A and B are shown apart, each in its own frame.
Chain A
Amino acid sequence: MIEAKGISKTFGRRTVLDKVDLVVGDGEIVALMGPNGAGKTTLLRILATLLEPSSGEVVIQSMKVLDDPVIARKAIGVIGHSPYVYDDLTALENLSFYWSMYGLPRGKSEEAGRAMLERVGLSHRMHDRVAVFSKGMRQRLAIARALLHSPRILLLDEPFSSLDQKGVDLLSQILLEEKAKGRSILVVTHDVQRISTLADRADVLIGGRVGRSYDSRAIGKGELDIGYRTSIEGGIS
Chain B
Amino acid sequence: MNLKLGKYWVWFAGISAALMLITVLLAVYYAPVAASSVKTANELFPSIEGSTITVAGFVADREIMNPIRYPEDPPVTAIILADFSDYRRYLDAVVAGDLEGEWWTVEPITVRGPYLPLGTNVSATGEVVATLDSSSFMLSCDSSDDVVELSSPGEAGIMTSPISQKIFYFHMPSAWVSYVGFFLTLVFGVMYLRTRNRTYDRVAASSAELGVLFATIAIVTGPVWAKEEWGVYWRWDDTKLVTTFVMWLVYIGYLMLRAAVVDHSVRARISAVYGILGFVTMPMSLLSSRIAPLIRSSHPQVIASSSGGLSMEAGITIGIAVVAFTFLFITMLIKRVEIEESEDELEELKRRVGGEE
Across the interface, A11 reaches (CB within 8 A) one of B196, B265, B344, B357, namely B265
| Interchain CB contact under 8 A, A11 and B348 | no
CB neighbours of A14 from chain B (8 A): 351, 357
Q: Which residue of A lies closest to B198 (CB)?
A: A12
Tell me the bound Cα distance from A227 to B88 in angstroms: 91
B98 lies within 8 A of chain A by Cβ: no
Q: Which residues of B contact A11 (CB under 8 A)?
A: 263-265
Q: What's the interface size class on A, roughly? A: under 10
Cβ contacts A6-41/B at 8 Å (1 or 0 each): 000001111000000000000000000000000000
CA–CA, A13 and B198, complex, Å: 11
CA gap between A174 and B344 in the complex, in Å: 47
Q: Which of A43-67 contact B (CB under 8 A)?
A: 54
The smallest C-beta distance from B194 to any residue of chain A, in angstroms, reads 13
Contact among B196, B348, B357 with A12 in the assembled complex (CB-CB below 8 Å): B348
A-B pair number, CB within 8 angstroms: 14
Among residues of B, the one whose C-beta sits closest to the C-beta of A15 is: B357
For residue B357, which residues in chain A have a CB less than 8 angstroms away from its CB?
14
Bitwise interface map of B from 330 to 357 toward A, beta carbon under 8 Å scored 1, else 0: 0000000000000010011001000001
Chain A residues within 8 Å of B348, by CB: 12-13
Bound form: Cα–Cα A11–B264 in Å = 8
A55 to chain B, nearest CB (A): 11
Quote the shortest CB–CB distance from B351 to chain A (angstroms). 8
Query: Could you say which residues of chain A place their CB within 8 Å of the CB of B196?
Result: 54
Report Cα–Cα, A13/B196, bound state, in Å. 14
Determine the main DSSP class of A at the interface with B: loop
Q: What 1/0 mask marks residues of chain A from 54 to 85 whose CB sits below 8 Å from any chain B CB?
A: 10000000000000000000000000000000
Residues of B within 8 A of A13 (CB): 344, 348
Rounded to whole angstroms, the CA-CA distance of A54 and B344 in the bound complex is 18
Complex: A14 Cα to B356 Cα, angstroms: 10
CA of A54 to CA of B196, assembled, Å: 9
CB distance from A225 to the nearest CB of B (A): 28
Shortest C-beta distance, A137 to chain B (Å), equals 33
Cβ contacts under 8 Å, A12 to chain B: 198, 264-265, 344, 347-348
Expressed in whole angstroms, the Cα–Cα distance for A11 and B269 within the complex equals: 13
| Smallest Cβ-Cβ distance to B265: which chain A residue | A11
- Which residues in window 79-103 of B have CB below 8 A to A? none
Bound CA–CA A12/B350 (angstroms): 14
Restricting to B166-202, which residues have a CB under 8 Å from any CB of A? 196, 198
CA distance A14 to B357 in the complex (A): 9
Smallest beta-carbon distance B267→chain A, Å: 11
Given the complex of chains A and B, what is the CA–CA distance between A13 and B265 in angstroms? 11
Write the nearest CB–CB distance from A12 to chain B, whole angstroms.
Answer: 5
Complex formed: what's the CA distance from A11 to B267 in Å? 12
Nearest chain A residue, comparing its CB with the CB of B266: A11
Q: How far is the CA of A232 from the CA of B263 in the complex (A)?
A: 27
Q: Which residues of A contact B198 (CB under 8 A)?
A: 12
Q: How far is the CB of A42 from chain B (nearest CB, A)?
A: 12
Q: Which residue of B lies closest to A51 (CB)?
A: B265
CA distance A12 to B357 in the complex (A): 14
CB distance from A188 to the nearest CB of B (A): 22
Question: Shortest distance in angstroms between B342's beta carbon and chain A's nearest beta carbon?
Answer: 13
Residues of A within 8 A of B265 (CB): 11-12
Among B198, B265, B348, B357, chain A packs the most CB atoms within 10 A around the CB of B265
> Measured between C-beta atoms, what is the minimum distance from A207 to chain B in Å?
9
CB distance from B219 to the nearest CB of A (A): 35
Q: A residues 96-154 with Cβ under 8 Å of B?
A: none
Complexed CA–CA distance, A12 and B264 (Å): 7
Residue of A nearest to B264 (CB): A12
Residue-wise interface mask of A (162-198) relative to B, using a CB-CB cutoff of 8 A (1 in contact, 0 not): 0000000000000000000000000000000000000
* Closest residue on chain B to residue A10 by CB atoms: B265
The distance from the CB of B340 to the nearest CB of chain A, in whole angstroms, is 12
- Minimal Cβ-Cβ distance residue in A for B351: A14
Smallest beta-carbon distance A180→chain B, Å: 40
A13 to B348, CA, bound (A): 7
Among A13, A14, A54, max chain B CB count under 10 A is at A13
Task: Report the Cα distance A133→B154, complex, angstroms.
Answer: 79
Minimum C-beta distance from A64 to chain B (A): 17
| Docked complex Cα distance between A11 and B265 (Å) | 7
Q: How far is the CA of A54 from the CA of B351 in the complex (A)?
A: 21
Task: For the complex formed, measure the closest distance between the CB of B313 and the CB atoms of chain A, giving whole angstroms.
Answer: 52
Distance of A168 Cα from B141 Cα, bound (Å): 102
From A207, which residue of chain B is reached at the shortest CB distance? B357
State the CA gap A71–B344 with chains docked (Å).
37
List residues of chain A with CB within 8 A of the CB of B351.
14
Question: Cα distance A11–B356 when bound, in Å?
Answer: 14
Scoring B residues 254 to 293 as 1 if CB is less than 8 Å from chain A, else 0, what string do you get? Answer: 0000000001110000000000000000000000000000
Between A and B, 10 residue pairs with Cβ closer than 8 Å are A11-B264, A11-B265, A12-B264, A12-B265, A12-B344, A12-B347, A12-B348, A13-B344, A14-B351, A54-B196
| Known A11-B265, A14-B351; 12 more pairs at CB < 8 Å | A11-B263, A11-B264, A12-B198, A12-B264, A12-B265, A12-B344, A12-B347, A12-B348, A13-B344, A13-B348, A14-B357, A54-B196
Point out residues on B near A: beta carbons under 8 Å: 196, 198, 263-265, 344, 347-348, 351, 357
Q: Which 3 A-B pairs have the closest CB atoms?
A: A13-B348, A12-B264, A11-B265
